[in-house]
A and B are shown apart, each in its own frame.
Chain A
Amino acid sequence: MRKGIPLAIAFFAWAGVASTLPADAGQSGASAPAPSFQGVMPKTVTLGSLTDRYEPVVFDHSGHVDMASGCGDCHHQHGSDQVLGCRECHALDPSAFRRSVHADQFRGCGECHAGPSPRPVPERTGLAAAYHRACFRCHREVGSVGRDPKGCTEMCHEEKGAARTARE
Chain B
Amino acid sequence: MEEKKGISRRDCLKALTAIGCTTLVGSAVDAHAYKKFSGWPGRYGMLADTTECVGCRSCEAACNSANRLPKPDVPFDEKSVFEEKRRPTSSAYTVVNRYSLPEKPGTPVYRKVQCNHCNEPACASACPVRAYTKTPEGAVLYNQDLCFGCRYCMVACPFSAPAYDYESALEPRIVKCTMCHERVKQGGIPACAGACPVEAIKFGKREELVNLARERIRRHPDRYVDHLYGEHEVGGTSWLYLSGVPFARLDFPSDLPDKPLVEQTKGFLSAVPLVLVLWPAVLGMAYAANRNKEDDR
Residues of A within 8 A of B (CB): 1-2, 80, 117-118, 122-123, 125-126, 128-129, 132-133, 136, 140-141, 145-153, 167
Contact = CB atoms under 8 A, between A and B. Distances in A.
Interface string B88-126: 000000000000000000111000000000000000000
A123 B75 CA distance: 32
Contact of A146 (B66, B78, B107): B107
Given A122-B204, A140-B107, A149-B77, A133 B198 contact: yes
A136 B188 contact: no
A141 B56 contact: no
B107 A141 contact: yes
B230 interface: no
Interface of B: 52, 54-57, 62, 66, 75-79, 106-108, 183, 188-189, 191, 194-199, 202, 204, 208, 212, 215, 219
B112 to A, nearest CB: 13
A93 B62 CA distance: 52
Contacts, number: 67
Contacts of A150: 77-79
B97 to A, nearest CB: 13
A1 B189 contact: yes
Main secondary structure on chain A at its contact with chain B?
loop
A1 B54 contact: no
Q: Which 4 A-B pairs have the closest CB atoms?
A: A129-B199, A1-B194, A149-B77, A132-B197
A149 B72 CA distance: 15
A146 B108 contact: yes
Nearest to B211: A122
Contacts of A132: 197-198
B242 to A, nearest CB: 13
Main secondary structure on chain B at its contact with chain A?
loop
A133 B77 contact: no
Nearest to A3: B194
Contact of A152 (B56, B106, B108, B189): B56
Nearest to A124: B199
Contacts of A1: 62, 66, 183, 188-189, 191, 194-195
Contacts of B191: 1
B79 A122 contact: no
A128 B212 CA distance: 20
A128 to B, nearest CB: 6
A148 B55 CA distance: 7
Contacts of B54: 136, 140, 145-146, 151
A149 B194 contact: no
Nearest to A119: B204
Nearest to A150: B77
A149 B57 contact: yes
Contact of B106 (A129, A133, A147): A147
A151 B56 contact: yes
B55 A126 contact: no
A70 B166 CA distance: 57
